[in-house]
Amino acid sequence: LNELIFFFNTVVISGVVLGSIYAVGAIGVTLIFGILRFAHFAHGDMMTMGGFIAFLLAAAAAAAGIVAPVPTGFLVLPIAMVIAAVLALGIDKGFYAPLRARGARPVTLLIASIGVTLIIQGLIRLFFGSSSYSFFDTEIKQLYRIEVPLPDVTRTINFTQPQLLMVVCTALAVVALHFFLTRSRLGKAMRAMSDNPDLAQVSGINTKLVVRVTWIIAGSLACMAGTMLALDVSLKPDLAFNIVLPIFAAAIVGGLGQSYGAIAGGFLIGFAETLAIFNWSILLRPLREALPFDLPNNLAVVPTEYKLTVAFVILVIVLLWRPTGIFKGAST
């Protein structure tokens, strides 16, 4: 059973954590696609930006001598999310709104989002250089160990405090989003506009307001995802390029424009990545005697270096097998 617990530690826990990061990021991508009909490539950099905002705030809080039972990264997260939402609104106003006013095609907006990516990334690198930062330079990551009350079990279930808080935060965000989309007037307006923008406008929905709300939600969620990623590993200016592919894969797998699909897609991709690089021979080791062949030392489906390819392979399979995603996505 030690092996099973090892499996739980390395696959289930990191899969859940990775999955929640992807899910929170993918919700933003999918919302923007649903409302504005373009793939927002700058989302990865908005996440990095959010991570850096939280980092600066955390540093400021630490300097001010604020001590809390949770890591400062989580303490400042709400403020960082507000700032990121304002910045997202500003980005829309400055870069996308003029193009939309001109009646540009979605493809032009996509290319514009590349420009935004480069600008954000350039600014971040200008101010922070290219080295990596950690939230835990001054404080310690608390590690939880849970003893398993079974005989012959020596391993414990391990996870860190940030990981636990991340999952809680994701759950809170998802539930809040669910209630917003299904119960509030604005959320219903958003869903209506995502289904049919012209009809929504004709029926008196304030589309400009909906667009603003979309950016607020997407921006704050991107900030949250970026901070979580930074808390789980470390904060690097070029974080975005490694994250944008799995996030888009998650959004597409779930069906672009479908918020629940994005959540499912995020967890699917997260788990697939951790499962694919897991060394299966550890699980099979107790059965060594029973197996007819010698057990190799490493039985991972793909070597660790190719982790990124897993998301993509899933994406291709889903696109070929069900082009609009698992949940029916928006067309065009």
Partner 1 sequence: VTQRAFILFGALFVLFVAIGWVLGAANITLLLVQSFAYALIALGLNIQWGYGGLFNFGIMGFLMLGGFAVTFISFPINAAFWNSEGPYLLARAVAAFAAGTLLVFGASRAHRIGIRGGWKTALTVLAWALAYLVYRSQIDPAVAYIEGSAGWIGGLGLHPVLGWLFGGVLAAGVAYIVGRICLGLRTDYLAIATIGISEIIRALLKNMDWLTRGTLTVSPIPWPTPLPQALQAQGVTITDSFVLARLGFLAVVLVVLVAIFFLVQRAYGGPWGRMMRAIRDNHVAAASMGKDVKARQLEIFILGSVMMGIGGAILVSFGQIYDPGSFQPINHTFLIWVMVIVGGAGNNWGAVFGALLIYMAWMISDPVAQALFYTISNWSTDIGWGAIPEIQSRASQMRVLVLGLVITAALRFAPRGLIPEVVRRER
**Short-list 87, 12, 74, CA closest to 278:** 12
Q: Which of 69, 130, 154, 198 binds partner 1 (CB under 8 A)?
A: 130
297 forms part of the interface with partner 1 (CB under 8 A) = no
* Residue 181 CB contacts under 8 Å (≥ 6 apart), including other chains: 187, 188, 190, 191, 259
Side chain identity at 8, as an amino acid letter?
F
Shortest Å, Cβ 238 to partner 1: 8
CB 216 within 8 A of CB 88: yes
One of 112, 210, 272, 277 touching partner 1 (CB under 8 A): 112
Q: How far from 115 is each of 48, 149, 162, 221, 240, CA to CA, in Å? A: 16, 55, 33, 21, 14
Contact region with partner 1 (CB under 8 A), list: 63-71, 110-118, 157-165, 201-209 = 110-118
Judged by beta carbon, residue 162 or residue 237, the one nearer partner 1 is 237
Instruction: With contacts defined by CB under 8 A, name the span among 58-66, 100-108, 169-177, 190-198 that binds partner 1.
Output: 100-108
Q: Which of 1, 60, 118, 199 binds partner 1 (CB under 8 A)?
A: 118
Residue of 2, 10, 108, 161 interacting with partner 1 (CB under 8 A): 108
Counting contacts by CB under 8 A, is residue 117 touching partner 1? Answer: yes
Is residue 275 within 8 A of residue 244, CB to CB? The reply is: no
Asked if 101 is part of the footprint of partner 1 (rule: CB under 8 A), the reply reads: no
Q: Which of 9, 44, 8 is nearest to 308 (CA)?
A: 44
Q: Does 241 bind partner 1 (CB under 8 A)?
A: yes
Rounded Cα distance, 283 and 152, in Å: 16
| 332, burial (CB in 10 Å: exposed 0-12, middle 13-18, buried 19+) | exposed
- Between CA 129 and CA 165 the distance in angstroms is 29
Closest by CA position to 170, among listed 217, 225, 220: 225
Contact positions with partner 1 (CB under 8 A) in 37-66: 38-39, 41
Q: Which of 54, 77, 81, 116 binds partner 1 (CB under 8 A)?
A: 116
Structure tokens at 207: 């589309």
119 sits near partner 1 (criterion: CB under 8 A): yes
Among 142, 291, 309, 328, indicate the residue that binds partner 1 (CB under 8 A).
Answer: 309
Taking CB under 8 A as the rule, does residue 107 contact partner 1?
A: yes
Per CB under 8 A, residues contacting partner 1 are: 33, 38-39, 41, 95, 98-99, 102, 104, 106-108, 110-112, 114-123, 125-126, 129-130, 241, 244-245, 248-249, 252, 256, 303, 305-306, 308-309, 311-312, 315-316, 319-320, 323, 332
